[in-house]
């Protein structure tokens, strides 16, 4: 059952009209209280509800959820929600809810400051979109390095810090856990530590592989984590939409699925500075996976945190998958039931875990 932190938000007339100005064409219905409620312009609902283990839950900042409660609304497993401008993030999430978003995972690329934790909780307190906080450490040479303190920590100390932060801050996942084109010894150590923290807590994991197309990176990450006893049914190997056509994306995707993990197609719906793969090629990736019978292993997200791509400016923000990429899947003939399975049922299978003492 839900353990709520706040009451469901009802839009005032001014808020509703402001939202209409951002997303024209919304249906508006009068509530008995005299306020206005904005109806979502599209709905994503469960197709074939998964069976979850006894005691499984999805940990959000608004409370622990029974996984069956996320049967309505798309879930995106890798986004960047936290920011100092809480009002802007809340506004954006309201528009994204109008576009069909129900739950979003906030990825971390380093240990959050107390202020960042405070701001993300403030966003969650005012949002009807459920927010899952994820955490971990990120290194991808040429893009970002570990802080000096992390590079000098022992593996055991990393495990303890990860478990402590996950408990204190109510994480619902570890992520995004990154590695470079050539995995370095310190990256292996961090991946082992995250894997051990996963075994200790049960929390799911999602990873980052370099955007420059790195099939071997996916296999290296899995090899390191497998050695620590990770349950791959709660692991997503990320940025698999950045595998270039000449590198046989389906071969890599199939290898990931055969080992039990999810294939994270999480660079969708907007331009990526380090990966110039057309959206049409990414649609083809989804079609190839469906033809290979791997629908149960597909997860979608955008990995979007650029304010200039928010609805206030020139994009669809965190709903870019729903508003930019999903229509392309529909045009390509992907059935609506399949789209709903990928956006509703698959993510909650990934996120639902049984907490360990």
pLDDT band at 21 (very low <50, low <70, confident <90, very high): very low
How many CB atoms lie under 10 A from the CB of residue 219? Answer: 16
276-313 burial, b at 16+ Cβ within 10 Å, e below that, comes to ebeeeebbebbeebbeeebbebbbbbbbbbeeebbbee
pLDDT number for residue 10: 46
pLDDT number for residue 120: 98
- Which of 20-29, 159-168, 184-193, 316-325 shows the lowest mean pLDDT across its residues? 20-29
pLDDT band at 71 (very low <50, low <70, confident <90, very high): very high
CA 84 to chain centre: 20
Mean pLDDT for the stretch of residues 27-54: 70
pLDDT band at 40 (very low <50, low <70, confident <90, very high): confident
Residue 175, C-beta contacts closer than 8 angstroms, at least 6 positions apart: 78, 105, 107, 108, 134, 135, 136, 205, 206, 207, 208, 236, 238
Mean pLDDT for the stretch of residues 98-118: 96
pLDDT number for residue 18: 53
The secondary structure element, H or E, covering residue 298 is strand 298-300
- Which of 8-12, 76-80, 185-189 shows the lowest mean pLDDT across its residues? 8-12
pLDDT band at 214 (very low <50, low <70, confident <90, very high): very high
pLDDT band at 38 (very low <50, low <70, confident <90, very high): low
pLDDT number for residue 13: 44
pLDDT over 90 at 275, yes or no: no
For the chain, how far is it from start to end, CA to CA, in angstroms? 20
pLDDT digits (tens, 9 = 90+) for 112-161: 999 999 999 999 999 999 999 999 999 898 888 988 898 889 999 999 99
pLDDT over 80 at 206, yes or no: yes
pLDDT over 90 at 280, yes or no: yes
Share of the chain above pLDDT 90, in %: 81
pLDDT over 50 at 282, yes or no: yes
CA 234/CA 194 separation, integer angstroms: 13
Q: Residue with structure tokens 């709520």?
A: 4
pLDDT over 80 at 19, yes or no: no
pLDDT band at 236 (very low <50, low <70, confident <90, very high): very high
CA 295/CA 210 separation, integer angstroms: 24
pLDDT number for residue 73: 97
pLDDT band at 15 (very low <50, low <70, confident <90, very high): low
pLDDT digits (tens, 9 = 90+) for 327-341: 999 999 999 999 999
Closest C-alpha among 258, 188, 173 to residue 225: 188
pLDDT band at 312 (very low <50, low <70, confident <90, very high): very high
Let me know: does 279 contact 302? Beta carbons within 8 Å.
no
pLDDT number for residue 261: 98
Question: Which residue ranges form the domains of the chain, and what is each CATH number?
Answer: 13-351 (3.20.20.140)
Half-sphere exposure of 136 (CA within 13 A, CB side): 30
Half-sphere exposure of 212 (CA within 13 A, CB side): 9
Dump the DSSP string for 111-129.
PPPHHHHHHHHHHHHT-SS
Please report, to the nearest 10 degrees, the dihedral formed by the alpha carbons of residues 168, 166, 145, 237 taken in order.
-160
């Amino acid at each position: 059952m839900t353990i709520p932190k706040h009451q469901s938000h009802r839009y005032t007339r001014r808020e509703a009209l402001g939202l209409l100005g951002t997303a024209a064409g919304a249906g508006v219905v009068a509530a008995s209280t005299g306020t206005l409620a904005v109806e979502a312009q599209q709905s994503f609902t469960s197709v074939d509800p998964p069976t979850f283990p006894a005691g499984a839950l999805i940990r959000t900042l608004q409370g622990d959820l029974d996984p069956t409660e996320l049967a309505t609304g798309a879930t995106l497993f890798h986004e960047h929600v936290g920011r100092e401008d809480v009002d802007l993030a809340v506004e954006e999430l309201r528009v994204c809810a109008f576009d069909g978003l129900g739950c979003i995972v906030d990825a971390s690329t380093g240990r959050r400051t107390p202020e960042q934790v405070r701001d993300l909780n403030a966003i969650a307190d005012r949002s009807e979109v459920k927010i899952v906080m994820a955490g971990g450490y990120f290194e991808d040479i040429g893009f970002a390095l570990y802080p000096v303190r992390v590079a000098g920590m022992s593996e055991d100390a990393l495990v303890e810090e990860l478990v402590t932060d996950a408990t204190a801050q109510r994480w619902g996942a570890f992520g995004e856990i990154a590695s470079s084109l050539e995995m370095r010894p310190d990256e292996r150590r961090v991946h082992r530590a995250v894997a051990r923290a996963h075994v200790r807590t049960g929390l799911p994991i999602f990873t980052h592989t370099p955007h420059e197309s790195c099939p071997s990176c996916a296999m290296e990450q899995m090899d390191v984590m497998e050695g620590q006893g990770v349950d791959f049914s709660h692991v997503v190997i990320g940025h698999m939409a950045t595998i270039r056509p000449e590198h046989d994306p389906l071969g890599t995707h199939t290898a990931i699925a055969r080992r039990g993990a999810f294939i994270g197609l999480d660079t969708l719906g907007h331009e990526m500075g380090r990966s110039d793969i057309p959206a049409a090629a990414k649609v083809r990736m989804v079609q190839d996976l469906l033809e290979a019978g791997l629908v149960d292993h597909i997860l979608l997200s955008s990995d979007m945190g650029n304010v200039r791509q928010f609805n206030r400016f020139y994009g669809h923000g965190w709903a870019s998958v729903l508003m930019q990429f999903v229509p392309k899947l529909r045009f390509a003939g992907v059935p609506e039931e399949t789209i709903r399975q990928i956006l509703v049922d698959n993510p909650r299978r990934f996120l639902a875990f049984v907490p360990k003492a």
